[in-house]
Structure 1
Amino acid sequence: MREPREELKATADEQPPDFDALTPPDELVRGERTRDDFLDAALQLSEAATVDEVADIADHGPDAAREYLEWFERMGIVEQIGRNPVTYRRNREYLVWRRAERIRNRYEPDEIAEMLATEAGRADEFETAFGVADPDHVRVHSYASETDQSIEDVWEQLAEWHTTRRRIELLERALSTDDSLSGHHRPVA
């Protein structure tokens, strides 16, 4: 190993650095994650939240929150709901678009069509079993009594039916060539 240049060598009277005065490494790394912190916070917004509330969730300041929320709104990730105070919530259509894009990138169209046919078959089975076209039209207590099932079992079946319907929506979106978000700007991935 080579000796350091003379100007880089410590002298006998030199004091060691005050490591406690240095910025902790986790704070340095965290600074690079600001966008991700705000994206994580924005994707949690199922209800309208103020800029200050988003700043608290992301653990950053309100000025940065405002800047990122305005950017996320332009991208279609969040929607501005209120004006005084300004509030935002996540754009569900963005999440559907993002999931559909992942499916589209992972599977061939014929594979997606096959998955869609399977889910549509499940939806038909639910419609036949419950005798209605929509899980929201099932009277849980009455159906449980008529079929000698527990209310919990009926709720579980209805939850599966709702999930099946969401999958159908997602798979149809993945097969669609229209990437628009119902009037919103197409998000930048």
Structure 2
Amino acid sequence: MPNSESPDSPPPFEDAFRGDDVEQRIYGTILQTREPTAASTIATRADCDPKTARKYLGWFTDLGIVTRHDGHPATYERNDAYFEWRRINQLAAEHSVEDLQQRVQELMAQINDYEAMYEASTPAAVDAVAISETTNRTIDDVYSDLADWATAREERTRYERARQQLASGETEQASG
């Protein structure tokens, strides 16, 4: 039976980091970690020596990518605030103030539509079961809307923060 896997295709999900160096495997593992995890567990998942994992986890801690929790053993978890900061900086670097403002306005329109549709100010204020029982919408449709609404609210915040960051940077440069 011929190997159907193309050399350019991604590795199978079970072996997502095959071919990556140890640093990339540890980084990828920490990105997938949702709770504080011991270095030995991260090392097992990243297929490396625990001492090597601790070395890179220390470096990632210094960079702010992970948070180290003291204890026996010490545990590590992804620092979501770092990735939020990184995403906002990326948006500010890739878009103009005008582009960011336009996206904020688009997201606001989408959010306003959901608020009007569900007569609520936030997705959390909506009783999805009650809505699906009193309308011809399925519970899955309502939950999909609520997820889209929550995402739009999060994205609006990111785009607005990026717009403010870029606008203040441009102002400082113009006055300097």
C-alpha separation in 2, matches of 1:129 and 1:46: 34
Q: Which residue of 1 aligns with 2:42?
A: 54
Q: Which residue of 1 aligns with 2:128?
A: 140
- Closer/same/farther in 2, CA of residues 175 and 83 from structure 1, 3 Å limit: farther
CA-based RMSD of the aligned residues comes to 2.0
**Aligned-residue offset at 1:33:** 2.1
| Structure of larger gyration radius | 1
- 1:62 maps to amino acid: P
Between the aligned residues of both structures, percent identity stands at: 28
- 1:159 maps to amino acid: A
- Closer/same/farther in 2, CA of residues 66 and 176 from structure 1, 3 Å limit: farther
The structure that is helix-richer by fraction is: 2
5+ residue gaps, structure 2, are: 1-17, 167-176
Provide the TM-score with structure 1 as the length reference: 0.72
- Higher relative contact order structure (alpha carbons within 8 Å, sequence separation ≥ 6): 1
- Closer/same/farther in 2, CA of residues 149 and 32 from structure 1, 3 Å limit: closer
- 2:131 maps to amino acid: Y
- 1:39 maps to amino acid: Y
Q: Which residue of 1 aligns with 2:81?
A: 93
What SS does the corresponding residue of 2:76 show, helix, strand or coil? strand
Provide the TM-score with structure 2 as the length reference: 0.77
Kept in 1, the 8 Å contact 2:36–2:77? The answer is yes
1:127 pairs with 2:115: yes
Kept in 2, the 8 Å contact 1:97–1:173? The answer is no
**Higher deviation after alignment, 46-55 or 34-43:** 34-43
Q: Give aligned pairs, total.
A: 149
What SS does the corresponding residue of 2:92 show, helix, strand or coil? helix
**Aligned-residue offset at 1:31:** 9.5
